[in-house]
Every structure is written in structure tokens, then in C-alpha cells.
Structure 1
Amino acid sequence: MLGLLILYITFLSLLNHVNALGQTRCVEFNSSTSNFAVVREGNAAPILLAEDEWPGVQRAASDFADDIQRVTGVRPSLSNSSTSTNAARPIIVGTLGHSALIDQVINTTQMDVSSIQGSWESFMGMEVENPLPDVDSAYVIVGADKRGTIFALYDLSEQFGVSPWYWWADVPVKQHSELFISSSGCAHGPPTVQYRAIFLNDEEPGLTNWALEKFTNGTGAPGTGSPFNRLFYSKLFELLLRMKANHLWPAMWNSAFNVDDPEDKVLADMFGIVMGTSHEEPMMRAIPPEWTLFGQGDWNYTTNSDFIYQFWVNGTKRAKPFESLFTMGMRGNGDEPLGEGTNIALLERVISDQRQILTDVFNGTDITTIPQVWTLYKEVQGYWEDGMPAPDDMALLWSDDNWGNIRRFPIESERNRSGGSGVYYHVDYVGDPRDYKWITSSQIPKMYEQLSLAIERDAKRIWVVNVGDLKPCERETEFFLNFGYDSSLWNLTNLDSWVSAWAQRDFGLDEENTAAVVDLVANLTRFNARRKPELLSSDTFSLINYREADTVTNQWDKLVNASTELYNSLPNDTQPAFYQLVHHPIIASANLNKLLITTGQNSMRASQAFLSTNQLADTAVELFEKDFDLEVDYHSLLDGKWDHIMDQTHIGYYYWQQPMTNALTGLARVQARKEALAGVMRVAIEGSLGAMPGDNPNNCADGCALTLDPFDPITNRFIDVGAGGPAPFTFNVSSNVSWLDFSMTQGSISPDHPEQRVWVSVSNWDKLEDGDNLAMITITPTAPNGPELTVGMRRAGAAIPFVARKMEVPGNFSGFVEGGGAIAIEAAHTSRNTSVDGITWSEIPGLGRTLSGITPWPRSGADGRNFSAGDGPSVEYDFFTFDTIQDSGNITVITHVSPSLNANGEDRPLGFAAQVDDLPTQSSYFMPLAEPGQLPDAWNDFVANSIVPVNMTFTGVSPGAHTLKIFMIEPAVVVQRVVIDTGGLKPSYFGPPESACV
């Protein structure tokens, strides 16, 4: 009850913050004696700025006035004033050191601004009495710098009810007749991360095709054809600032930001966006487009350094008037490694020459004050780890593996660099093992787990997230930026409250529906993250074991139904935003999963000679066409506002690169008018790819048995009866025992209804003897014009064996019980949890493929040290076995860990230990070491499956009660699940459902 009360209080708190994601709340919609009226009784407080204020602040103030009008219908006046005004109770906006108006207010009132003075992007606001002549009172907004002032305005706008996504995702503006700000106001100190950026990358076909239609005449810029002009970027810059981002890596593949539109760079600086270029584009030059346009010779610093040097000089001169963050170093043209001849000496020369260019172009400026970054991406990380030095003031940007797993964090000796370090992260990627850029597939809990490590390891200078087309990764993009802006707000226990606040802000939902959205988003991203949609195939999920494929289909159906019900209940003006941010990703992803599972079932039924093969083929074609229908629906939204944004192909990958068109391959059909050689009826049993009667390579020589025990998490079994051709027939189901129940004892099959499923269960386990109880199931068909045929596994006249294995657990045992020859345990479901030195295995809710993950917390506890095997914090799981593998006394413990990398440094590989009872403790350093800058050989499999299975075999185990202990060795290990094989574990993607716990 206490937990529920805490959750309820948390939610009530969120209701008072519904228009903001983590901001200090200072906006109200009802008057009181302690607040300042922005709009009251149809009158709006005028907005005053100094004439010498930053142009970007002037522009943001205009947005601020527009936002007030969007919310209330009343637009305040906006005017410049240097000293005095007759305006009654105005809002005064300005930047320290760049506003004569703010200077006068401070001089007149002695307003204390020491808390933000000289502090990066900080702001404060408060009601001040007599700030100017003839002004009794004003709400004064002061920024420490221009972005501090801009963020202060957008912070209020968001709290008023204007989402950052009001244009980019059509989030409706919340309407209020009156607006008030508390007299004590809002304030925020410096952000956690200094530079917070997105990277538009892999921006074709979706974003490019959309922008060509919406912002150009269809031809794009001369030379590159890029559609990303000032009209596009003005929309993007505003969005970034509303999310409190301050940095951008612009679209690059067929675009050159500084060339495509001469106004782009001027516009960025005016808005207040610090421009950069991607990890492979040095000195503010777009590579490859600018090299294609202006380059001469090879992009090779060994053979063509003179021309490349001048090329970089020109780029630096072009960027000099504007706020920039320079990418240093060099990669090959087209984001490839430099080549076989690359060595550390060459890269040192490259960076030395680039520093000289900065010295010459910024003559008289200390270049250590010019922001620079060297991105340690792929093989470049190897140069650093092999000993290549870098200037201390140059930030190091550590990269993830392109799949959201950060390759390395700064170790202790690297954390005192004056330039600091940061993280380059992906929620979209083009490359091995497959592209993933069609739809959202990143989990916020996983992002938090990795990014919070970056905070702990002091990688806080620069964060960049590769967002691909931006849509449909809106939510995950905002979480990345929001967490970077103020990481102190979010922790293991309140990540769902971030999604709650997001749903409240953008959809204006009540408590019940907000909780529904949190569940929808958690399951959508979990389902898509457990295997990226682009990596799915017809055999990803087992068609025969643990009902895995059926479970996946049912999960998606449930999610679609819940999303559809909520979508249909929303007001018309909210539906477009909900469709883009929640509903379309769900229905499109569900359709893709069902399509591929249906394709797999079609292939299986063809091998089993079922007539239903054709029905499954028809269904697959319908689902394939529905995929395009859903794309058309998205593109038709709001009279085509987002036409082309979902152009990305995603079906029919042949290798890592996107297919040129969606393609459905491999469908099978059987001849509908021809009867199967073995007769009119086909029978397949659960757990087997075989079929009967007749020959099938997967049939058992003596008949495959259906088996069941009372502790199996799947409590029944099934038999599929189907047509083997065009002849209709009826069938009867019977058994030689009374303790079996059937969902039907007779049925009929025809070409229009070619298949039925018969469920088989044990009616009363108490009627059975201990051990194996054998029954025989007989299925007898009768064709109108044919003989009776009794069907067994290979021939007429045999029956289907059913073995009910009755087992009992001592009454004093508590824990997980073997069922179906295995035990499966979600890692969070511990029997005991023991802390050491203040470190405890703690749950990260929602992370991973099935339920959650556990990790030692705090990860920086005990000064970040590791433990010897068996000495560290531990979790325990009590379990009971009836068998060992082939009666050998062996069991295999398979620990499913998240595919984290050895980010603690090569001398601290990730590891944990496990022990069964008092048997010897086993250690696993499960992540193989790799050459500097490289990934382990097995990495593609790890990220494709979103798990690393760690196998440990324990010998000398007798049937009975046992305890498994998992010990911390290194921090940052995340355990999701444990599967114990006692001899009956079957192949599948997830493993068995969680075992019964008594």
C-alpha cells in the first residue's frame, strides 16, 4: 500500500507539472496574491526588450508573444525600450551585459543576479517592484548569456502549454483564458552537458523527399540538390531551442550546410545555434559534398596535403564570424577509415596543421578557447588507445557502437582534461549488421542506463545524438536532450514519470489514459528493441517452441487494440500528434511482425502439406499491402503535411543496406486441387515441425510425444488438424484415459475452413500417479466418399502419445520450480539481495527484452572499484529441479546480460560471477576483448539479438532444492534474465516463459 501511495503522490505531483519535462514549475492558470499576471481578463502584459539585445533573443521573444496568443488568444505587445516606459506591469526580458534595459533594472533595484552571473546558459526570473520609472512592478527575465535568456522564454512557453513539438508533431496547444507566473519565478543554472546536439544523418529517403516537397520547388540547391535551406533550418532551429539544445550537426550526405543556402550559417548564429560538422567532416567542411564540388585530387593527406590544408583554411575563414565547434582529425571520404597507410604520426600531423589553421585564422585569439572536438569513432578510438596524444583543451567525443552501447567512457586518468569529453550516440544507424532507421526502436531505460554512466564518468562537455530523419524518433530525441540539460532530475525510480510528463504535456490526458500511454510506449519500444524491425525474419521467433511466435503476435494485437481504443477516444485536434508519436509506430510495427511470422508459418505448413499454406500466403500478401496502406495513411495526415516522411524501406533486406524497394519473398503455395499423398487429413503437434500421416524429415521414428508437467508455465498442449487437399472431412478426437480434456472431440475441415486447433490438458493432476503417465490420443477422419483413417506420426493406425509427468515439491520449499525441463527467472525476481559497501543490485524498470534489468548501484560506489568473484554484492534465486542434463548431474545456467561493452577500459573487462549452492564459483568476463577501436567478432550477433547469453555448466547437482547466486565483479553489468537448463531446454529467441514460483 505504501508503494501505491507513493506512486499516487508522484502522479499528483506530475499533474501540477503537465506542461513541462522537469522544469521548476512557476506557471499557474488561476490568480493569487503571489503571482504575476501574464494575461488576465483579456489583457496581456507587454513585453519589453532593449534595442541592443541579441537578435536571437529578440526573435525568441516574438515566439514567446506568439505562444501567449496561441494559449490565450491574446497577443502581448512587443517593443524595445532602453530606459523608461509607461507600460503597466510589463515583462522585461534581457541578457546580462547585452541589454541596457536589464542594466538599468539591476542598477535601480539592486536585483541580485549573482546566482547566474557568468554561468553558461543560466537564467532567472522574478517579479520586481519599481524596476523602471513609472513602472510599479514587472516580471523580469534575465539570462546569463543569450541562450540563457532564450531558454527562459521557451521554458515559460512550455509551461504555458506550447509543446516544443507543436509544429514538428502537431501537438495541440493547451488553451487557457488566463496565465500567471509566480512572483518568485523560474530559474535554472548551467546545464549538465555544455553542448547538446542532434545529428541529421542518413536523411534519405524520408526527410529529404519531404523537405524537397515542402521547402523547395523540387530541385534543391545547385550542386548538391539538397532541400535543407533556411526555410527548413528555421523550423529546426526553433525546435532545438525549445528542447534546450544548442548545437547541431547538419544533414550531410548530399548536403553542404554552408554552401546550399548562404543564409544558413547566418541564421544559425542569429538563432543561437552553435554549428558543427559530423565526426568525419573536419574544419567546418561538408564531406563528401564540398570535396566533390571544390576538391582537387585525392582526399589523402599524405599525397594531397597542400590542397586539403587550404581547403580547411577556407572552411575556417568562412566559419570565423559565427559561433562554431570545430571537428578535428580526419577520416576517409564517405565516412570510411583513412586506409592501410594510416598511422598515428599522420593523424598527429593532421591535428597539428588544423591547430595551426585556427591560430592563423583566429589571429590573436588563444585557440584553447576555440571549441574543438575529436570524435573517437570506430577505428579512430584505436589511435587514442594506441597512444596518440591530443591537445588537452580538445574535447574527446566517445562513441557508442552505433546501437546505443557506448564503447568506452573516460577512465579516471582522462577525466581531468580541460577540454573534457562527451558522447556520440545513435537512435538511428546505417551499417552492420543492418540499417535501422524506419521506426522508433530505442528504449528510454536503455538510454538512461548508458547516458547516466556518461554523467558519472564526467563525459559532459558534448553530447550528440544521431537521429536520422528526426521523425519518428521524436520522443527519444527529446529524452536525450532533456537528460543532457538536467540529468539530476531522472533516476532509476522515476523514468516512467518522464514518459508520464511527456504524455500529459503533449496529449493532455487524465490519470488512467496517461498510465495507458506509459504502458504503450514501454511495450512499443521494448518489442522493437528486442530485435530491430529491420533484423526480423520469418524464423526469428520460434514457430513450434514455447508458443513464441503466437505470443509475439498476441502481444502486438493487445498493444494495437489498446492504442486504437485510446486513439479513437481522443479529441480530433489531439489525434494527429498521438498518431505520429504513438499509434502509427505501434500499428505499423505490429503489422510487420505479423507479416513475417505469417510468412514463416506459410513455409512451415507447406513442408507439412497443409492446404492452409495458401490461406497463410494470402494473409501475408494482405499484410504486405497493408504496410503500404499505413504509409499512405501517415502521408495523408493533415492534408499531406508529412508526405514522404515515412518513405523508408524496411522489408526484404538482402544485406546490411536498405533494400531499394520493400519486397516480400519466399511465399509458398500448394496445389489446392490436388490431395496430399498421405490422404485428406494432416496433423501436426505442438513442438514439432513434423506432420502426419506420411513422410516428413522432422517426424520421429517412433512417434513424437506431447509432454506436460504440473509446473510447466504453459499449462496445456495443442494438436493442429488440417486439410491435405480439396476434400472436406470430419474428424473425431479420443483418448484411452479419462484424465485428458480436449477443447473439441469432433470437428470438420473444408477448403474454406482448412485448419482447426485442438487443445489438450490434464483435467485433474490428483488422479495421476507420480512420474510418467502415458495416454494415447487418436484422431480419426471421415471423408464423405472415402475410408476412415486413423492418424499417427508416420502411418495409419498409430496414436499420438501424451506423457503427463506428475512431480511434487516439498511443502517447505519457496522459489522457482523446474517445468518442461528448464527454469526461467526474470532477474528482478530475486529471493534475496545482499549489499556490500553500499552497493546493491538494483532494478532498471522496463529495460531489456522481457521485463527489466538489474545492475549494481550506485555504479560509482566503493570508489568505482571491482570485487573478487564471490565477494561482491549478490542476488540469490531459490530453485527446485527434478532432472539434470541426461541424468549426468550437470545443469547449465544461462545468464542473459545486456550487450554492454568493456567501457571501463581494457584492463577492466565486464564480468560477474555465479555459484550454485556451495559448488565452486565461476567467473565470466563475457565481453571478448577487441583490438583498439574495433568491436568483438561476435558483436553483430549480440546487438542483433539484443542480448549476450553467458553459459556456465555446474556439475554434481542432484535433483532437489538449490540456490543460484550472482555476484558483482565489475560495475555496469546489466542482467536481464536467467535460464537454467536441466535437460529440456528448447531452441527459441527468448527462452521459456518465466517458471512457476511457489
Structure 2
Amino acid sequence: MARSLLAATFLAVTLSPFFVQQAIALGQEACITFQSSPGSFAIVGSNRRAAPIYLSPDEWPGVQLAAADFAADIRRVTEARPSLTNVTAVDIGSLRGTTPILIGTLGKSSLIDALVSNTGLDVSGIQGKWESFISRKVDNPFPGVESAYVIIGSDKRGTIFGVYDHSEQIGVSPWYWWADVPTTTRNQLFATPGGCQHGEPTVKYRGIFLNDEQPALQNWAFEKFTNGTGSEHFNSPFNRFFYVRLFELILRMKGNYLWPAMWGSAFNVDDPLNQFLADRYGVVMGTSHHEPMMRGTPNEFGIFSEGKWDYTTNSDNIKKYWVEGVERAKPFESLYTMGMRGFGDLPLSEETNIELLEQVIADQTKIFEDVFGDDVDISEVPQVWTLCECFVFGPDKEVEGYYEKGMRVPDYITLLWADDNWGNIRRYPTPSERSRKGGAGVYYHFDYVGDPRNYKWLTTTQLEKVHEQMSLAVDREATRVWIVNVGDMKPFEREIEYFLNIGWNSTRWTHTNVGDYISAWAQREFDVNAATASSISGIVGNLTRYNARRKPELLNATTFSLINYREADRVLADWDALVAASTRIYNQLGSSFKAAFFQLVHHPVIASANVGHLYVNAGLNNLRASQASQAANAYLERVNNFFDQDWEIEQQYHRLLDGKWNHFMSQTHLGYYYWQQPMANTLVQPPLVRISPRKQALPGPMRITVENSNGAWPGDNRNNCKDGYNCGEATLTLDNYDTIGSKYISISAGGPTQFTYTVAANVSWARISSTRGSVSAAGREPEQRIFLSVSDWSQLAPGRNVAKLTITANAPGQTPSIVSPTFVAIKNAAAPGFSGFVEGAGVISIEAAHATRKSEVEGNAWQELPGLGRTLSGVTPLPRRDEKFAAGSGPTLEYDFFNFNTISGSGNVTVTVLLSPLFNVASDASPLEFGLALDAQAVQTVRPIPPLTKPGDFPPGWGGEFGWVANSITPYVATYNGIEPGAHTLKISAIDSAIVIQKIIIDTGGLLTSYLGPPESIRV
């Protein structure tokens, strides 16, 4: 468990909209200030001179490199140039008369060891710890030195992290190069006398995995780090010049582990200095889940070995190949992937059996014994076995299945559990598994190639989801290794750092302060005040929510309903509001911050919004064409414009900073035909439609469409009624508890002739938003909406109230065209004194966080996870526990509701509970459960995830273009019989932890098709 020895605070003095006075420290309290205070240490004082920096020459090379970066960072911030000098213990006299910064590692730096000996400085809090550090002002550390500021690490990376922590606080973002975050200049820098300190991190190995490197990262690296020619064997651009930039970034973010790029690359072969430099910088190297024994397989195997990758027929050559990999990696700090998979992340053959794979592990263990010799305890060599179905195709999803069927590996090998490639962790250690010496970890994804679709283009992961899943990993003690697949790395900058930050100190970040993290991040990156940072936090939160509820690669023309709940309208309005908010901040930022803000916030906002508009307008094009409306052509033109704009936005990114990030947005993302990326952006599916602009529709110049219908009037349309002809006029129904509060009629052109129209009603209570107007196919708007509502519900009689409307179109030289829809207003009344949600439009829709009552049992209660999920938030039982509650005995959520109807008057209602996607994370033998009850009926034990068809597979309903992983929701539907109109209470009780509920929908007969479900019902 991580422990920050000081709590984190984020303070800002609001001097102007874009000026932060206080240092920002993500993860702990700041110990850097920009003004002197009593007892503070001057890093750069009022004389504009920088304190000299000293290290011992016997210090780790990685610490020397970090110290050089720190000196450069001080100069970057203040323009003062600190000296950087190596000094031995015998030359300490050279420090006389200085006020230095002393950097070093306990037991490695003779300078620091001498200081501790001289001063009696208490270092017990970090002695012998993993990656821990302290910093503070020390008086009289050596003769002639009045005071010094020391940064001391428990080990190599402890010191490195202490140094880079100070770099961040003085104002240098880890992303200063990789995302062009500028540094605000300061005249002075001071350290508080108590300094900063941090104990052991939560997670021992915290890293990223570069993957799916084409077409973006690889092409960019070719352009920026080669002369056009890549490595000898694989023509890879990922050489030492690329990797040293990455090593520095990882360490600045308090990460320590890397799975390198692998497709068409081999880290150790592409540049012989790659692994040497990783170790020199202090980054632990590994290889991906399907590249055992530090070999880049399959690439290296095809060059440096013989025969097939088949252990049953070619084990001698494969073992020799592995021996060479271990011998090559032995001098360096490495974490070895164990086991064996097929070539290129494919499964092994169906005939592969557990006994063979256990023999593979045994042979790999023997290789370690032979290479490392008797002086090394093999159980101390870091090893990991990834239980991952990472490339999801065909019937074989084998690795986790092997474990579930009984395969075991030595106790000291870390079990690396994986998510489902979509951010939903499949399994956590059970209590009996938590005592293993090697522990457990998590392989997570921000990027993926495979079923049901690739997602590689933009950020689509909610930080709220990351926290919910990774905090569960902490609670279940899966904290030995965390690795996240980051694809090309950009544009997942913020998500990467948050993932690593939780791994560095999970106690700092909670379910309720994700927004605080983003605000602090925004202050650090853009030097904005707290109010502006809060606005940026809201933008980021909504950006990731909108992209996570269905990834852009999975969108189509009818994802969001075009006719029900104004869903598509609301989605586009949300995107437009987000673009406006982001644009306002972008325009107000100083020029030096625009490039960073564009990359990290603005580009994904405008690019995502543009795609959202493209697909909705494509849907409207198809719909209006089927309705014989000239509006189809206007929507076609808009789609073409959005398609062109997609390219322009991409080019805007590529032209940034004279093309520094050229290629990074070249990932195709429009027009998927199956799981794999399209070879080119394709306009849309289904095909767009053009309607004749010269020929008038058969029924006349006017087309009428109405809310909640795909039909059109006058004339025939297959959606006007069951038969599709002689259907009669449209009917629109509104009740007084309908959340939206109105219904609309759209009027558009049926041909090239302009016409005028009038709208009248035969009753006074029918409020009509506009009673006259004109329509032309050539007009600025393709259609006009007329909104119908009730002027005064109190004047209506209970029950049905019917109004007849008359819409008359007059076109030159033509007989008037008349349509007469019916408008029905239903007045309902909940029982006096009722308090709760009330049925509107035949449905009760409730956000899970809005319970009428909730109970606590044994300190456990349902708590809101703000911002998580598709619409508002989620709720989950906290704190988490291993033990189940008996059905109905756990903490309960109660929702009071009032219904006027049942489905077709049958006495039946359906209750749909929408859950965050989840797995039986304690194995199928102990499936996740919660309790569900209506009124006084017996509690129903709900198991939302059915058992697997075979070990290691995915549950029914997971996959496919419209499965619950694609829809980012897991629905559970229950039917209740014998329900009378009136007041009722729905009860949800906790049985297990790890359940997250987002929304509840109760259908009383009026539920309409939509993606996100009805808006929340009115609560009285």
C-alpha cells in the first residue's frame, strides 16, 4: 500500500484568470514555493542566483541524469543556471561557503552517507524501502556549510523520483516535450524547510506498453528519429534516440516499467544500446504478454532461430533461443514474461494442454538457474505470467482458461490478470491467492485491436472508470505489476499519468476526487487559476464520458435515436456546448499554451464532436429520404462538410509546431466494416441518399414528420401504420409528467417549390410555438420544428384531452395541402403526499444515485461514483469486502415511484437495471450478485453475468457490435406481475462488492427505443 507521508493539497491564488501562485504537486503536498518564507531554502533566491547542485561520483548513472535534468529545469523556469558537480567524500571541503542542493542514494552515494553520519539525519522512514525518498533543509551538514537542501532516495529510483518530483513542482510538466507544455517563468524558487517525502509506492512495477504502432507512432518515429532508414533486421525506427525521450517521460511520471513497441520491431535488436540505456536511466524492461524470456517474438525468432514456434516438435531450438534472451538481459534490470503463446499474440493450437505449458514454465525456470547460477535465488528474479485473452478471435481464449482449469506456476511468479481489452478487469485475486510470494497485477487497456472493434484514435477512457477498476485491484491486492496498453501513447497523455499516479500512491486518489485531479493537472499544464481549471475538468470529464459511452469507432447513423427522447438532439447539443467551452478557454490562453491545450483538450473535443455530427446527420439524411423530404439533401451536404472537416482537423494537429507531431492523428476511424481498422476513412454506413431536387413528392410540396415516428404525411409511408397505406393522420401524445414537456412536428419541403404554412388547433389549451411560416428546399434550415405543449394543465380535465390540429401549406399554382394530426394531452395526478419519481410517457427513469433512501450495514453503504458512466454517475457498495451479504441483509437503496399504467394494462411492469460492464471477478464459482425487490415481494438474488460456456471465455452478451462491452452497459431486466397503479418502492440491496449501478428504468408500457434510455423522470 502506498503511503504519502504528507497529504496532498492544491492551492491557487487567483491573481488573474491564468496565473497560479502555488506550486502544483500531483500526489502530495507541495514543498516548493515561489516566495520566501521563514526558514525556507533558496533554490533560486532574490539575487537570481541558483544554488549549486552536488552529487557523489559513485552515484547511480540514472540519478546523475535526473540531476542534470533538474538543473536544466531550474534554468528553464528561472533562467538561472545552477552548477552541477560531482564531489567525493574526501573533497567535501570544496563545498565550504556554499548553500548547496545535495542529491544522492542511501548506501550508494558516499556524499549522502557522510551527510547522514555527520548530522544524524533520520532516514529510518526510507531505509531499505522500495523507491522512497525524503527531502528537507539540513543545517550544518559539513564544515563550512551553513545549510543545504537534500534529496535522498532509498534506492536508485527513489532518488530519481525525488528529483523529478521537485522538477514538477517548480513548474516543469513531465509532458514538457511530449505535449509541449510550456514552463511559466519565475524569478525565485524556494523549498520549505520540511521538504517533501514519499514512502513505498502502492504498486511495485508501474508501466506502459507501446502497441498497435501503425500508422501513427511508427511513421512519426521514422520521420523524427531516423534518416529514413530503420533498423537492420526489421526496418524499425524505435532506436535509442526515441527511447531515451520515453525513459525520461516514464520516470518523470513516477513510472518504472516498459513493454516496448513490438509490431515490426525488436527492442534489443533494433538498437543494441536500447536495453543498456533503459537500465542506465532506471527503467525496468519487460516484453509483452506473448513474448517470453525477453525475446521479441515472433520477430526475433524468425531471424535468430530455426524451425517452427512449436514446443512439441522444436523445443530444443526454442529453449536455445530463450537462453540467449536471458543471457542478453541478465546484466540489466528486467521483468521476465513467462509461459508461451502463439505467434503474433495468437493462441497456441487447440491441442495444447496444461501439462505441456507447465513443462514450458519448468524449462524456463531451469534456464534461469543455468544462466544466473547458484549465487542468485531464482525466486528473486522478477517474473510474470499474463492471464490474458488479449487478441480476441476464434474459439481460443486460452490463457486465463488454463489457470481456471487448474494450471499453476511457481508461487514467486506474478499472476498478471487482465481486463477484457475494454477496461473491465476480468478477475482479481481471491483471498487464498493473495499470499503468493509473486503476488498479482493487472494488464489494462487504453487502446485495443480486435473484436468487436478497434479503438485507437482518441481518448475514450473515463478516469472515473480507471479509478473504479484500479482501486478494486488495490483492494484485492493485485499490486505487484500494473501495465497499461497505450497504443501510440499520444493522445492518452492524461490517462497514462493518472494510471501511473494511482499506482504510485493510491491513497491520494479516491472515488470522489477524480475531478480534483484533473483540475490540479490543468493548473499544472496550463497555468490557469482554480476556476478555469475546474472548467477544464468539466470539459475533460464530459469528453471522456461522451466517447466512453460508445467509442467513435462503433458509432453509426442510428446509434442515438433520431426520433425518441430527442436523444440525437441532446447528444449534439452536448457536443456543441463542449466545443464552445473548450474554444473559449483556447482563445483566452496565452499563445505559448495553445499547442499543449490543443493536443490535450481541444483537439479531441472538436474532432469527436465533428464525428458525432457526421453520423447523426447521416442518419437524418437516410430518414428524411425515406420520408420523401428535400431535407435529405441538406443533411447530405452537411455530412460531406463534416467529412471534409474531419480531414482538416487532422491536418491542424499535424501542422502544429511546424509538424512536430505529424502522423499522430493518421489513424483511420470512419466507416468500419468489421473489427479491423478501415484502410481509408469511408464516408458512412449505410450509404448516403440524394433525393431529386427538381421533382416534387407525389403528395405535394409539404412533408410533415412527427416526434416518436419514422413515418411522414401526407401520403403513404411504411412507418405510418402497420399496413403502410391508408393509415390516417399522425397522433402525438403528451402527459403532464413527461420530462421533456412538449412534442414537435417538423415541416420540410417535398419538392423545389417554396410554400407558406399555417398551423391551427381547435382548442385553446394547445400551445403552438409558431403558427405560420415559409419553407424552401433552398433555405438555411432543412426543416422547421413546431413545438406543441399545454398552456395550463390545471385547466384540463383528468385523463385524455384531445386537440385536432390543421396544418395547411400553400404553394403557388397548387391546391392547398392539408395535414390534420391529433394532439392528445393526458393529465395524471399522483396521490396526495406522495414523494418520489412519477411515471411520465409510460416510463419511470431514475439515476441510481438519486435513491429516496439508503441504509448502512456494518459500515458498508452504497456510495456515488461521480461522473462515472453514460449519463450521470454510478453507485457501488463501499468499502469493498470479500464476504457476501445474505440476500436482503446488505445495505439497501430504495426508490419510491408512482405509476399510472402497466404494460398493455396487464398488471406487468419491467425493471431494467443498467450496470457498468462487469465480470464475475472472484471467478464463476462465486458470481457477482445483488438483491432486487419490489414492494413487499421476496428479494430476488440477481446474477447479472451468466456463467461462461468454457473457462477463460467471455460471458454471453459480451461481444458483438451491440453487446454490452460495445454499448458500455450491462442490462439486467426483471418482470413483475400483479402491479397496480399507485405508489411503489423498488429496493436494491448489496450482496457483493464490485457491482456498479448507473440507472434504473421501469417500463409501464411506454418505453421507447433509445441508446441512453429516457431522461430522468420528474421527482415530486
Residue 62 of structure 2: aligned partner: 56
Cα displacement (A) at 1:110: 2.0
Q: Deviations over 1:937-968 (max 9, x none)?
A: 21120110111111111111111111111111
Residue 774 of structure 1: aligned partner: 802
Secondary structure of residue in 1 paired with 2:311: coil
**Residues 706 and 803, structure 1, Cα contact 8 Å, conserved in 2:** yes
Residue 640 of structure 1: aligned partner: 659
Counterpart-to-counterpart distance in 1, 2:12 and 2:100? 33
Counterpart-to-counterpart distance in 2, 1:293 and 1:248? 24
**Residues 133 and 154, structure 2, Cα contact 8 Å, conserved in 1:** yes
Counterpart-to-counterpart distance in 2, 1:702 and 1:885? 25
Are residues 1:954 and 2:954 paired?
no
1:806-825 superposed matches below 5 A = 806-825=827-846
Cα displacement (A) at 1:11: 6.2
Residue 714 of structure 1: aligned partner: 740
Q: Deviations over 1:259-281 (max 9, x none)?
A: 00111011101000000000100
Counterpart-to-counterpart distance in 1, 2:115 and 2:467? 42
Cα displacement (A) at 1:702: 3.8
Secondary structure of residue in 2 paired with 1:383: helix
Residue 924 of structure 1: aligned partner: 942
**Residues 595 and 624, structure 1, Cα contact 8 Å, conserved in 2:** yes
Cα displacement (A) at 1:23: 2.2
Cα displacement (A) at 1:12: 6.0
Counterpart-to-counterpart distance in 2, 1:858 and 1:16? 37
Q: Deviations over 1:776-835 (max 9, x none)?
A: 1111111111111212xxxxxxx2011100111233111111000001000001100101
Counterpart-to-counterpart distance in 2, 1:854 and 1:318? 50
Unaligned runs of 5+ in 1: 1-7, 792-798
Residue 661 of structure 1: aligned partner: 680
1:885 corresponds to which of 890, 893, 903: 903
Amino acid at match of 2:329: A
Amino acid at match of 2:887: A
Residue 555 of structure 1: aligned partner: 574
**Residues 19 and 163, structure 1, Cα contact 8 Å, conserved in 2:** no
Residue 17 of structure 2: aligned partner: none
TM-score by length of 1: 0.97
Secondary structure of residue in 2 paired with 1:900: coil
Residue 36 of structure 1: aligned partner: 41
Cα displacement (A) at 1:16: 7.6
Are residues 1:24 and 2:29 paired?
yes
Cα displacement (A) at 1:493: 2.4
Counterpart-to-counterpart distance in 1, 2:566 and 2:307? 60
Amino acid at match of 2:441: G
Counterpart-to-counterpart distance in 2, 1:291 and 1:449? 39
Amino acid at match of 1:824: S
Counterpart-to-counterpart distance in 2, 1:773 and 1:33? 77
Residue 332 of structure 1: aligned partner: 342
**Residues 47 and 76, structure 1, Cα contact 8 Å, conserved in 2:** yes
Residue 724 of structure 2: aligned partner: none
Residue 843 of structure 1: aligned partner: 864
1:78-477 superposed matches below 5 A = 78-83=84-89, 84=92, 85-87=94-96, 88-364=98-374, 365-378=376-389, 379-477=398-496
Residue 3 of structure 1: aligned partner: none
1:465-504 superposed matches below 5 A = 465-504=484-523
1:855-866 superposed matches below 5 A = 855-860=876-881, 864-866=882-884
2:776 corresponds to which of 723, 746, 750: 750
1:595-634 superposed matches below 5 A = 595-634=614-653
Counterpart-to-counterpart distance in 1, 2:21 and 2:855? 38
Counterpart-to-counterpart distance in 2, 1:93 and 1:921? 62
Secondary structure of residue in 1 paired with 2:313: coil
Secondary structure of residue in 1 paired with 2:644: helix
Q: Deviations over 1:623-663 (max 9, x none)?
A: 00100100000011111111111110000000001001100
**Residues 912 and 1002, structure 2, Cα contact 8 Å, conserved in 1:** yes
1:965-976 superposed matches below 5 A = 965-976=987-998
Counterpart-to-counterpart distance in 1, 2:539 and 2:607? 14
Q: Deviations over 1:863-887 (max 9, x none)?
A: x211222211100111111001111
Secondary structure of residue in 2 paired with 1:939: coil
Residue 756 of structure 2: aligned partner: 730
Residue 985 of structure 1: aligned partner: 1007
Secondary structure of residue in 2 paired with 1:44: coil
Cα displacement (A) at 1:222: 1.8
Residue 986 of structure 2: aligned partner: 964
Cα displacement (A) at 1:370: 0.5
Counterpart-to-counterpart distance in 2, 1:458 and 1:627? 44
Amino acid at match of 1:872: G
Cα displacement (A) at 1:983: 0.3
Amino acid at match of 2:314: N
Counterpart-to-counterpart distance in 1, 2:660 and 2:512? 38
Counterpart-to-counterpart distance in 2, 1:967 and 1:218? 62
Unaligned runs of 5+ in 2: 1-7, 15-19, 390-397, 722-726
Counterpart-to-counterpart distance in 1, 2:35 and 2:304? 60
Counterpart-to-counterpart distance in 1, 2:265 and 2:59? 33
Cα displacement (A) at 1:911: 1.5
Amino acid at match of 2:49: N
Q: Which runs of 4+ in 1 moved over 4 A?
A: 8-18
Residue 575 of structure 1: aligned partner: 594
Name the stretch that deviates more: 723-732 or 162-171.
723-732
Residue 5 of structure 1: aligned partner: none
Name the stretch that deviates more: 580-589 or 362-371.
362-371
Residue 935 of structure 1: aligned partner: 954
**Residues 324 and 371, structure 1, Cα contact 8 Å, conserved in 2:** yes
1:543 corresponds to which of 562, 569, 580: 562
Cα displacement (A) at 1:82: 0.4
Secondary structure of residue in 2 paired with 1:25: coil
Residue 824 of structure 2: aligned partner: 803
Secondary structure of residue in 1 paired with 2:992: coil
Cα displacement (A) at 1:114: 1.6
Counterpart-to-counterpart distance in 1, 2:887 and 2:896? 20
Residue 65 of structure 1: aligned partner: 71
TM-score by length of 2: 0.95
Q: Deviations over 1:318-360 (max 9, x none)?
A: 1111110000001000101111111101100111111111111
**Residues 116 and 144, structure 1, Cα contact 8 Å, conserved in 2:** yes
**Residues 45 and 91, structure 1, Cα contact 8 Å, conserved in 2:** yes
Secondary structure of residue in 2 paired with 1:448: helix
Amino acid at match of 1:815: G
For these two proteins, the number of residue pairs brought into alignment is 981
**Residues 23 and 155, structure 1, Cα contact 8 Å, conserved in 2:** no
Counterpart-to-counterpart distance in 2, 1:124 and 1:514? 30
Name the stretch that deviates more: 931-940 or 386-395.
931-940
Residue 783 of structure 1: aligned partner: 811
Name the stretch that deviates more: 494-503 or 148-157.
494-503
Cα displacement (A) at 1:581: 0.6
Secondary structure of residue in 2 paired with 1:725: coil
2:932 corresponds to which of 891, 897, 914: 914
Residue 652 of structure 1: aligned partner: 671
Cα displacement (A) at 1:9: 9.8
Q: Deviations over 1:701-752 (max 9, x none)?
A: 3433100011000111111111111111111111111111112111111221
1:700-711 superposed matches below 5 A = 700=721, 701-711=727-737
Cα displacement (A) at 1:17: 6.0
Counterpart-to-counterpart distance in 2, 1:970 and 1:825? 22
**Residues 197 and 465, structure 1, Cα contact 8 Å, conserved in 2:** yes
